[in-house]
Structures are given as C-alpha cells and as structure tokens.
Amino acid sequence: MLDAQCLCAALPFVPSRARVVLVPHAREWRQPSNTGRVALLSLRSAELAVWGRREAPLDLSLLLRDGHTHLVLHPGPDARPIAPVDGPVRLLVPDGSWRRAGRIARRLLALPGAIPVKVDVAPRAGLRRAPEPGKVHTAAAIAQALEALGDTAAAAAVRAAGDLMIRRTLEARGRAVSARSSRP
C-alpha cells in the first residue's frame, strides 16, 4: 500500500477476552485485500497459523489449548449462532476464498471439541463482492463474533480497522465507498 494509505500508525492495538487465531490460506495471506491481517494486527492476543505451506505444514493440534472452548467461525451448514461461553475461548477463523476457507473450516472442525459457529451480520462494504447475503469480509466477521462474545471494545477496534483498510484501499484505487454499502 502507498505510504499515504499505510494503516500501521492508525491501527488500534487492544486486548480481547477471546483468543483469535487467524488461519489464512497461504495464498490469501499474501493478498493486499486481506482484512484478516488488520484484525490480527489490531488484537494483542491474536495468533497467526498459516495454512497451505508445503515447506512448513500446519500442525492443527497446536491450535488446541486445554481448558479453552474452541469455536470455528465459518457459516457452514452445521454452524450455530455464536453466543457467550464460560471460560477462555479460542476463536479459530479460517481465512481465504470462500472455497478455501470452507476446506480449512472442515479440517478445523475435525479437531476434538471444535464447535462450528457463525455470526449474523448485515452486509458491509468490502473489496470483493460477497457470494451471498450474510457473508462478509474476515475483519467484519471477527468483529461481530467478538461483540457476540461480549467484548465490545475489541469488536469496535477490529471493525474500525477493517473499515479503514477498505476505505484507504478503495481510495488508492480511485474509488469511494459509503459506510453502509454492501458493495464498493
């Protein structure tokens, strides 16, 4: 991103009660349109576990922590609306194209005790078109999940970071977007 659009100084860096583990596909992680990256950079307790690297395959068992509830955030057919849970939470977030994210989610859901969850969100402006209503970019989904888990401060920070990234990216492309639009 051009220096004028650089987000580094503008991103918040806030704690969150839930431990967010972003699991992007290696190809998605390199994309400049990846909103999961700004969510990761905005949360102190966030972790990155890149999927799809041939030279260093991801050991899924490393994502599990004793005593945590493991929620997999993806709008699959078995996913239930996310709700607060007792005790520590690890929010596992597949990130990539919808097809790749679906594959990652299926593998994550094979982990012992992993619970499929989804968020109910209104369409938000994004850099890509959502394939259907209710599917939003990664930062918006993480923000909504944190809010549903009762962490409103972290949710607001991630939502603001994602919106800022989208706005500056579209400005760099010579386009503008309204805050409530579902498409750029």
- Percent of the chain whose predicted confidence (pLDDT) is above 90: 51
pLDDT tens, residue by residue, 120-179: 877 655 655 655 656 788 999 999 999 999 999 999 999 999 888 888 888 877 766 554
State the total domains in the chain: 1
- Flag whether 183 is in a domain: no
- Flag whether 155 is in a domain: yes
Domain of 60, in residue numbers: 3-172
Residue 36 pLDDT > 50, yes or no?
A: yes
**Banded pLDDT at 34 (limits 50, 70, 90):** confident
**Banded pLDDT at 182 (limits 50, 70, 90):** very low
- Flag whether 64 is in a domain: yes
- Flag whether 184 is in a domain: no
Q: Where are the alpha helices (H) located in the chain, listed in sequence order?
A: 26-29, 36-42, 98-109, 138-148, 152-172
Rg of the chain's alpha carbons, rounded to an integer? 16
- Flag whether 177 is in a domain: no
- Flag whether 154 is in a domain: yes
DSSP 92: E
Q: Which of 111, 112, 140 is nearest to 124 (CA)?
A: 140
Q: At what angle do helices 138-148 and 152-172 cross, to 10 degrees?
A: 170
**Banded pLDDT at 8 (limits 50, 70, 90):** confident
- Computed over every residue of the chain, the mean pLDDT equals 84
Task: Write down the pLDDT at residue 129.
Answer: 60
- CATH number, domain containing residue 120: 3.40.1280
Task: Write down the pLDDT at residue 183.
Answer: 39
- Flag whether 182 is in a domain: no
Task: Write down the pLDDT at residue 134.
Answer: 63
- Flag whether 127 is in a domain: yes
Task: Write down the pLDDT at residue 132.
Answer: 62
Task: Write down the pLDDT at residue 3.
Answer: 57
Residue 68 pLDDT > 70, yes or no?
A: yes
Question: Beta strands of 19-137 (E only): which ranges?
Answer: 19-24, 47-48, 69-73, 80-81, 89-95, 115-118
pLDDT tens, residue by residue, 48-65: 999 887 777 788 888 888
